[in-house]
Amino acid sequence: MLTAHELIGFMSPKLSAEILEHAFSSDKELYKATLAAVETVLAKHLLRSWLLKKHTALLTDFLDALGVPHKDGIVDDLPERMDDAKLRSAVETVLAKHPADVVMVYLHAFYEMNEARWPNLKAMLETEPRLQFGS
């Protein structure tokens, strides 16, 4: 037997859109709850896949500049902390080599999706204009 998410996965796009439209038009609370329940998981998966498959060079350039061992941008263990100068240099390196908007998305995703949340990266994301959305 199929689970609910498997059923939706096998449906035609037209039928799945009809179900979402029905929830949107007749039960806003259900619609909002559904989106909230899946948005974080889907967004993380979507971003991770896009970055790993399309922007491998950005990931490897950043990790190489930090001196963090990896395999094609995938890291097994991140250090708990990162040296300020090394981090700033790595950020400057990727900003010089890659589109700023992609770097911005990557660095925010890197901070949010990893267990090792470096305080100095958080500070850069909050204060460096080139890394802020809407700047």
Task: Find the domain containing 20 and state its range.
Answer: 1-38
- Tell if the pTM clears 0.85, that is, is over it: no
**Residue 113 within any structural domain of the chain:** yes
What one-character-per-residue DSSP string does 57-111 give? HHHHHHHHHHT---BTTB-S---S---HHHHHHHHHHHHHHS-HHHHHHHHHHHH
- Tell whether 10 and 63 lie within a shared domain: no
The mean predicted confidence, pLDDT, of the chain is 92
- Tell whether 66 and 119 lie within a shared domain: yes
More confident residue, 28 or 134: 28
Q: What pLDDT does residue 134 have?
A: 83
- Tell whether 31 and 63 lie within a shared domain: no
**Residue 50 within any structural domain of the chain:** no
**Residue 49 within any structural domain of the chain:** no
- Tell whether 33 and 90 lie within a shared domain: no
Q: Rounded CA gap, 89 and 108, in Å?
A: 17
Contacts of 120 (CB under 8 A, 6+ apart): 81, 82, 84, 87
- Tell whether 61 and 125 lie within a shared domain: yes
Q: What pLDDT does residue 1 have?
A: 61
Reported as a single tens digit per residue, the pLDDT across 23-66 is 899 999 998 888 887 777 777 888 999 999 999 999 999 999 99
- Tell whether 70 and 124 lie within a shared domain: yes
Cα separation values, 124 from 24, 29, 119, 128, Å: 39, 37, 9, 5
- Tell whether 123 and 61 lie within a shared domain: yes
More confident residue, 44 or 100: 100
What backbone phi and psi angles, to 5 degrees, belong to 74? -100, 130
**Residue 45 within any structural domain of the chain:** no
- Is-contact 113 106, C-beta < 8 A? no
